[in-house]
Amino acid sequence: MSLTEIELKALMLRSLDGDAVAYRRLLSALSERLGTYFERRLGADPSESEDLVQETLMAIHTKRATFDRSQLLTPWAYAIARYKLIDHYRRGGRHRFTPLEDDGSLFVDDDSAAIEARHDIARGLAGLSPGTRDLVVRVKLHEEPVADVARRAGMSESAVKVAVHRGFRKLAARLRGKEDSA
């Protein structure tokens, strides 16, 4: 089973914090990905591919303290693999050109923007009063009917709409980096 970027990065972060089990899982998952990466480039000789996987894993192990926790893991790991492949070609005197655009395994889905957006929304919601936050979440995020929310909150529909509008406006201002006095 192939792990996602988020799962791989979580394993890396846990391993950097001393979790040996997470580190073994990370190396195993990277080994599979790197094997595919090198096999696509080297073709016939699987022993060369396996040697490069091991060299790359050793380099990752040696350089793991340089990993920037705020960045994605797979581009960092594939950059190391790419340099190991270049070194391999230099040692062998072979020259081979593979356009980066043709390398689908090098690029992963980047869901960091969605994660950051969820984090920003959660942080913005935390700045609202509990009552307003509950109304905004129920009406805007869960898309519950205003009438149902008003009935459960013991408020008129108009009062719920006004509170949600003001809360949403305050949330938007917080996300822009400005406090709205409303």
Instruction: Give the pLDDT confidence score for residue 23 in this predicted structure.
Output: 94
Q: Which of 37-41, 154-158, 173-177 has the highest mean pLDDT?
A: 154-158
Query: Could you read off the pLDDT of 88-134 as tens digits, one per residue?
Result: 888 876 555 555 555 555 555 556 666 777 777 888 888 889 999 89
Which residues are within 8 A (CB) of 80 and not within 5 positions of it... i.e. 6 or more apart? 56, 59, 60, 63
| pTM of model > 0.85 | no
Q: Does domain 113-176 have CATH number 2.40.50.100?
A: no
Instruction: Give the pLDDT confidence score for residue 150 in this predicted structure.
Output: 93
- pLDDT exceeds 80 at position 146: yes
Average pLDDT, the chain: 83
CATH architecture of 5-110: Orthogonal Bundle (1.10)
Q: Where are the domains of the chain?
A: 5-110, 113-176
